[in-house]
A and B are shown apart, each in its own frame.
Chain A
Amino acid sequence: MSIWEYANPKKFMQTSAWALPGLIVLTVVCMAVGLVWGFFFTPDDYKQGSTVKIIYLHVPAAMMAINAWAMMLVTSLIWVVRRHHVSALAAKAAAPIGLTFTLIALATGALWGQPMWGTWWAWDPRLTSFLVLCLFYLGYIALWKAIENPDTAADLTAVLCVVGSVFALLSRYAVNFWNQGLHQGASLSLDKEENVSDVFWQPLVICIAGFVLLFVTLVLVRTRTEIRARRLAALLSRERLA
């Protein structure tokens, strides 16, 4: 029994159908607990007041925006190396979700920035890199949409994803170099002393877990849709030929 068995569409459909109900419940519970705890049962920050509570959306969304791209990179490479179609379709399915997380991170950041920095937008390195990431997502999705043959589209988007990853990293470095910003340091990290304090930290971890679960659930649902769409297209083209 190897992990590649799940790359078989049949196995994937079966397993995901079995796992989805549980995942959905877990996602809802996790996000509800995390958000309610975070929004209503944590104290206001002594400097930032109640605006601090937007981190329960902002930080997990920003993390997942990057992780979604990382997942697309991995699944694209699996497609290139092992030619598992489910993997390519999972990458396709993850892109709009990643884009949405990116937009959520940008929007919540703007909402927080207005009262805190006095501006909706600043050309801060972190903000700018997310804007660039947003452009990468748009290009990737547009390329999928533009190509008719699904295998050609999977191949070309995989190449774009790999090359794009390198350039996205380069952009991150370049943007850092270009402007030292006013964004605060990482809210969570293992080696730093100046983390957010425990009262904020515990609900935040639950929120992050909720966002991870949300991402996994959405990717599974969308991959199932893509598999069905692919099947439909195959049946139609068979019909035309018969």
Chain B
Amino acid sequence: MELVVSDLAVERGGLVVLAGVSFRLAAGGALVLRGPNGVGKTTLLRTLAGLQPAVAGSVSVPPESLAYASHADGLKAVLTVTENLAFWAAVYGTGAGAVAGAMQRMNLAALAERRAANLSAGQKRRLGLARLLVTGRPIWVLDEPTVSLDAASVELFAWVLRAHLASGGAALIATHIDLGLPEAEVLELAPFRADGPALAVAGGFDDSFDGAFG
């Protein structure tokens, strides 16, 4: 179980933002993607999650092993904490046991019957992360997981993440905040920023018709 990314280029709005990104993530490992706003962290993660096609390069990952969490939590305000999690457990086929376990570990058990609309921003985030546990997928792809979490919750998140890694999982995390995970590798994305001729989508329209105007 290994995520291998080689020479990947990703685009946003018709322009290549990152090119030549290569890394590998093995079981038990965590990789933190860093870089300034707009460098393409979210775009890279969405490409890995399969939401958009890569411009170049390849991603190799075992089937049915990724769990993606965007910065929106995808919670339904009028459903309770349990209902929200139970839905994703059903979609991923992991069952009710996973829901109870996830709530226990993300410290949400006391809020089980509360509607998501009445949760604080940090509690919502914890619920969003509990969804990852419910999926039962080994490789987590996380976009800014610790936004709006207080110090105690960041610690809780780090603890849950370590447990996940220890049980053979892996995590790819885009963030610009310190996660309190000294053991995680860090990949700085700024050097992969595409510029110059690589900017236009290679082999794409904008490229080919530059020639039409001399």
Interface string of A226-242 (1 = CB under 8 A from B): 01001100100110011
Q: What are the residues of chain A within 8 A of B109 when measuring CB–CB?
A: none
B199 part of interface (Cβ distance < 8 Å) = yes
Majority secondary structure, A binding face: helix
A151 part of interface (Cβ distance < 8 Å) = yes
Interface residue ranges of B162-205 to A (CB < 8 Å): 195, 199-200, 205
Instruction: Say which one of A7-15, A92-100, A101-109, A176-184 lies at the interface with B.
Output: A7-15
Interface residues on A, range: 10 to 19
Minimum distance in angstroms from B188 CB to a CB of chain A: 20
Minimum distance in angstroms from A240 CB to a CB of chain B: 10
Of A10, A12, A14, A231, the residue contacting B206 (CB under 8 A) is: A231
Cα–Cα, bound, A227→B208 (Å): 12
The reply to whether A150 and B212 form a contact with Cβ atoms under 8 Å apart is: no
- Shortest Cβ distance from B212 into A: residue: A10
A149 part of interface (Cβ distance < 8 Å) = yes
Cα–Cα, bound, A9→B211 (Å): 8
- Shortest Cβ distance from B209 into A: residue: A9
The reply to whether A8 and B208 form a contact with Cβ atoms under 8 Å apart is: yes
Q: What are the residues of chain B within 8 A of A53 when measuring CB–CB?
A: none
Minimum distance in angstroms from B193 CB to a CB of chain A: 10
Cα–Cα, bound, A231→B211 (Å): 11
B13 part of interface (Cβ distance < 8 Å) = yes
B93 part of interface (Cβ distance < 8 Å) = no
A85 part of interface (Cβ distance < 8 Å) = yes
The reply to whether B208 and A241 form a contact with Cβ atoms under 8 Å apart is: no
Minimum distance in angstroms from B214 CB to a CB of chain A: 9
Cα–Cα, bound, A34→B15 (Å): 49
Q: What are the residues of chain A within 8 A of B212 when measuring CB–CB?
A: 9-10, 12-14, 227, 231
The reply to whether A149 and B13 form a contact with Cβ atoms under 8 Å apart is: yes
The reply to whether A231 and B199 form a contact with Cβ atoms under 8 Å apart is: no
Interface residue ranges of B1-37 to A (CB < 8 Å): 13-15
Interface string of A145-156 (1 = CB under 8 A from B): 000011100000
Q: What are the residues of chain B within 8 A of A8 when measuring CB–CB?
A: 208
The reply to whether B14 and A150 form a contact with Cβ atoms under 8 Å apart is: yes
The reply to whether A9 and B14 form a contact with Cβ atoms under 8 Å apart is: no
Minimum distance in angstroms from A227 CB to a CB of chain B: 6
Q: What are the residues of chain B within 8 A of A13 when measuring CB–CB?
A: 209, 212-213
The reply to whether B206 and A234 form a contact with Cβ atoms under 8 Å apart is: yes
- Shortest Cβ distance from B203 into A: residue: A83
Return the 4 tightest CB-CB contacts between A and B, nearest first.
A9-B209, A85-B205, A10-B212, A234-B206
List chain A positions with a Cβ less than 8 A from chain B.
Answer: 8-10, 12-14, 85, 149-151, 227, 230-231, 234, 237-238, 241-242
A to B CB contacts below 8 Å, 22 in the list:
A8-B208, A9-B205, A9-B208, A9-B209, A9-B211, A10-B209, A10-B211, A10-B212, A13-B209, A13-B212, A85-B205, A85-B208, A85-B209, A149-B14, A151-B14, A231-B212, A231-B213, A234-B200, A237-B13, A238-B199, A241-B15, A241-B199
